[in-house]
A and B are shown apart, each in its own frame.
Chain A
Amino acid sequence: DAKTTQPNSMESNEEEPVHLPCNHSTISGTDYIHWYRQLPSQGPEYVIHGLTSNVNNRMASLAIAEDRKSSTLILHRATLRDAAVYYCILSYTGSSNTGKLIFGQGTTLQVKP
Chain B
Amino acid sequence: KAGVTQTPRYLIKTRGQQVTLSCSPISGHRSVSWYQQTPGQGLQFLFEYFSETQRNKGNFPGRFSGRQFSNSRSEMNVSTLELGDSALYLCASSLDGTPVETQYFGPGTRLLVL
Which interface class (under 10, 10 to 19, 20 to 34, 35 or more) fits A?
20 to 34
Known: A99-B31, A99-B48, A103-B42. A42 touches B107 (CB 8 A): yes
Establish whether residues B56 and A99, one from each chain, have CB atoms under 8 Å apart when the complex forms: yes
Q: Does B103 sit at the interface, judged by CB under 8 A?
A: yes
Do most interface residues of chain A lie in helix, strand or loop, or is the interface mixed?
loop
Q: Contact at B99–A44, with CB atoms within 8 Å? A: no
Neighbouring B residues of A99 by C-beta, 8 Å? 31-33, 48-50, 55-56, 92, 94, 97, 103
Main secondary structure of the interface of B (DSSP, over half): strand
Query: What is the CB-to-nearest-CB distance from B70 to chain A, in angstroms, rounded to a whole number?
Result: 18
In the complex, which of the residues A45, A46, A102, A105 contacts B45, with contact meaning CB atoms closer than 8 Å? A102
Contacts of A106 in B (CB 8 A): 42
Interface size class of B (residues with CB under 8 A): 20 to 34
Bits for B40-60, please: 1 = Cβ < 8 Å to A, else 0: 001111001110000110100
**Chain B residues with CB under 8 A of A104:** 42
Which residues 56-76 of B have a CB within 8 angstroms of A? Answer: 56, 58
Is there a chain B Cβ closer than 8 Å to A97's Cβ?
A: yes
Please report the C-alpha to C-alpha distance between residue A75 and residue B98 in the assembled complex, in whole angstroms.
Answer: 27
Partner of B99, one of A42, A43, A46, A97: A97
Chain B positions within 8 Å of A, measured between CB atoms, are 4, 31-33, 35, 42-45, 48-50, 55-56, 58, 90, 92, 94, 97-100, 102-108
